[in-house]
Amino acid sequence: MQHDEAAMLLRRCARGDRTAFRQLYDAEADALHGVARRITGNRALAADALHDAMLQAWRNAAQFNPERGSGWTWLVSLVRYRAIDLASRAGRETLTSDPPDMPDTQPDPYEALAQTREERRLRHCLETLESRPRRLVTLAFLEGLTHAQVAARTGEPLGTVKSLIRRTLLRLRGCMDGSG
Amino acid sequence: MNGDLPDGVLPDDPDLTAAEYVAGLLTAAEAREVEARAIGDPTLARGILDWQRRLSGLARLARPEPPPDSVWQRLAAVIDPQPATSTPAAQPTRRRLSRYRRRVGTRTPDRRMMLAHLFAGGMIGAAVAFAIVLPKMAISLPAVASLNPVGTPVPAFLVMVTKDGFATIIANAADVQPGNSLELWGLPQGATTPIRLALLPTEGRLRIPAIVPIGTELLVSQEPKGGSPTGQPTGPVVYRGRMVKG
């Protein structure tokens, strides 16, 4: 298994090591803030989401279990949960501003998926998908959009969007778990 | 939920619920329902963890962006608070404490180290992310507690927990030995391991994400500066109180 710096720092945080917490923040805050910013579309909410998630990470570091996922996975789960919650309370339909097809407008949009074996696997599996379903799932995850919000964004019927996203998620699962 | 899907397109696969929850596709009400189910459904909870592992790489596609400096400053203030140098909020704090003392009443400290249930770590969704086993319990909020010095009825801390999943702590002239810090702890009912909530200032206000249900007893221990080095209380309990209906 590849070295997981965030996991190592979280283990030190669990022992009350404040230096490790600062290192964790320095290493991951920009990326996590970017995640929160994309979901909330709002500077103040993104900052609050990052703050709350990092505070939770500090206080609950002892509950992080590397056997259940990487440090990045744990931190992303915390910040996304908080960002979606804050955005939902604020009415995120009015907050998002980035174009929905951002990931596919770059020459290699999935180049960033290279840090772990899991990410490289995800990249491979995404590249086996057709462009449209891949874009819908990516959009939903990055912006934390509900089925209805994805449908509104793309102008497609809700049932069509929901069906397509579900089938895409199942294909991803099959591919990532090694059966597809 | 499947009524508007073409016939036979998808099985009613419970794992899809976990997938849609993790992807953020559910409405807030649906997400809360999934979280409530996950607490008592290990298969669903495990499914959520598996989907977090599968999909978290997608978050790498969000463009990194440096956060404002205030985020770290707020974090540092919580995990390693400095004693306040001025007390402009002291008078309002005292008024609030007086008001809550009237509402809540003061409690004679229990001689025994009796601790009540508590969700540390804040939101239930985060608890799902931690995959800890949580007891099923009804949480009634808001809740408040006044924390008194052991053996006296005069509160030094007021804790208010609201439905948005945050606890506001107001400190009013708390005492700490030079070179030490005050740390707030709690235990789920029947558990034996206390959970760290926050380092406390001796004066002023602190807001942390936490759901602390009614009935929870809170303790403040005196620890080496910067907090317990072990993650568990090491010093004497100097303040204590219990959450009651707010």
pLDDT tens per residue across span B3-32: 444 544 554 677 999 999 999 899 888 887
* pLDDT grade for B106, boundaries at 50, 70 and 90: very low
pLDDT tens per residue across span B111-138: 221 221 222 233 334 433 332 223 333 4
- Mean pLDDT calculated for residue range B89-111: 37
Best A139, A145, A146 member to test B by mutation, with max B CBs in 10 Å, is A146
Buried b (16+ CB within 10 A) or exposed e, A101-130: ebbeeeeebbebbeebebbebbbebbeebe
Residue B41 has pLDDT above 90, yes or no: no
* pLDDT grade for A75, boundaries at 50, 70 and 90: very high
Beta-bridged to residue A71, according to DSSP, are none
Residue A138, pLDDT score = 92
Asked if B53 lies within 8 A of A69 by C-beta distance, the reply is yes
- Mean pLDDT calculated for residue range B67-71: 95
* pLDDT grade for A128, boundaries at 50, 70 and 90: very high
Asked if A55 lies within 8 A of B230 by C-beta distance, the reply is no
Asked if B60 lies within 8 A of A112 by C-beta distance, the reply is yes
Maximum distance among all Cα pairs of chain A, rounded to whole angstroms: 51
Asked, as a colleague might, if the bond just before B42 is cis with ω within 30 of 0, I would say no
On whether the CB atoms of residues A6 and A71 are closer than 8 A, the answer is yes
What pTM, to 2 d.p., does this model score? Answer: 0.63
Residue B105, pLDDT score = 38
Residue B58, pLDDT score = 94
- CA nearest to B114, candidates B212, B190, B196, B198: B190
Residue B119, pLDDT score = 29
Residues in chain B: 246
**Averaged pLDDT score across all residues of chain B:** 69
Share of chain B above pLDDT 70, in %: 62
Tokens at A132, concatenated: 């449209």
Cβ neighbours of residue B106 closer than 8 Å, sequence gap 6 or more: B146, B148, B153, B154, B155
Residue A110 has pLDDT above 90, yes or no: no
Asked if B198 lies within 8 A of A59 by C-beta distance, the reply is yes
Residues in A closer than 8 angstroms to B121, CB to CB, are 56, 59-60, 63
B-proximal residues of A, 17-36, CB under 8 Å: 18, 21, 25, 29-31, 33-35
* Phi-psi group of B215: left, alpha or beta (phi > 0 → left; psi -120 to 50 → alpha; rest → beta): left
Residue A78 has pLDDT above 80, yes or no: yes
Asked if B63 lies within 8 A of A59 by C-beta distance, the reply is no
